[in-house]
Amino acid sequence: MAEMIDSLREAFAAQFGEGGDIRTYFAPGRVNLIGEHTDYNGGHVFPCALTIGTYAVARKREDRMLRMYSENFPNEGVITCPLDGLTYRAEDAWANYPKGVIRTAADRGYAADAGFDILYYGTIPNSSGLSSSASIEVLTGEVLRDLFGFDYDNIANAKIGQEAENSFIGVNCGIMDQFAIAMGRKDCAIFLDTATLEYEYAPIAMDGARIVIMNTNHKRGLGESKYNERRAECEQALAELQSVVSVGSLGELTEEMFEKCESAIGSEVRRRRARHAVTENARTIRAVAALRDGDLAEFGRLMNASHISLRDDYEVTGHELDTLVEAAWEVPGVIGARMTGAGFGGCAVCIVREESVDALIKAVCERYESKIGYPATCYVAEIGDGPRRI
């Protein structure tokens, strides 16, 4: 890592000049093991932070200008804008994410008293479903906190990132991505109740198994996908259910309660959307209990069931993700596999016996390229810590 940090600091100097108090930071990406599309429905999720993520090199300025550069998008050049009056501009592309965090933090009483120069570099594949956007949001919050001495904690940082994505970017996401990144802990996943933000760390002891991430390399933009449409469908289904049952979110319903009142939902499509939210929440609770009991087989079975529900009831998987997951299911030694993230492309996550990792990657990649026409990318995941100054 030291070599890469030195390289990033050299790149920063090349863009912005040498001298001054130059600081370096990191925030991870995340993968969600189970609990998909439940976070904005008041349910439970079970994500963990990764050792891949986003780096930043930053230095305060004496004026009120922001200068931002990404090593991942060098053709965009340095994006410059005044600290005051930050607005969303399509031509600013990736820089809208840090701009949104800076604006949201200021709206919450954490206004930077000077501009700064900042260089970003991400090791998360873009649009992969591993939360590159939430990573840059939480990272920017960490930079602000350190550069300007703000006293908000990691949960507040996560909330700032979520609000920036909701209000500034226009993606109606829940809290899971930012929370998992801001609160990440090495070798642990986070069992989070998104309705209350009560959480606990659960050690991930796989006992001879590994987590493998399988990237479709099919990119999707959440703002342009049907993500917001799914959320709206769930909100309408909840409103219909509230005519017959007193609940504040779909996450408050047990499967038995839902079966008794689902006829109040006036559309079969909305009924399936709500059914996924309810059953996925129940699966997540059972999966964490199974992991605590050391029952990895049950955890894997619930992962598989999660993918089927996301495919059939929520309809967010698509041909690419289904191809990856169905290929993984056929490999001996695979304990469970499912899509992860919002869907419509991105990644799947698999738990596989250590001795079968190579066979899994070979089989999945061969099947995928033969059916889809371009390669997938697979890599073994490591669970890491949250954001920090390096």
Give me the active site residues, please: 177
Instruction: Report CA torsion sign: 251, 254, 257, 261.
Output: positive
Which pair of structure tokens corresponds to residue 72? 């991942």
d(CA 169, CA 181): 19
Which strand ranges, in their side-by-side order, compose the sheet holding 44-45? 44-45, 188-193, 198-203
Which pair of structure tokens corresponds to residue 303? 């992962």
Which regions of the chain does DSSP assign to beta strands (E)?
A: 23-32, 44-45, 47-60, 65-70, 79-82, 116-122, 188-193, 198-203, 209-215, 334-340, 347-353, 377-380, 388-389
Q: Are 354 and 331 in contact (CB under 8 A)?
A: no
d(CA 9, CA 25): 11
* Residue 335 DSSP SS3: strand
Q: Are 130 and 31 in contact (CB under 8 A)?
A: yes
Q: Are 301 and 336 in contact (CB under 8 A)?
A: yes
According to DSSP H, which parts of 203-317 are helical?
227-241, 255-261, 268-292, 296-312
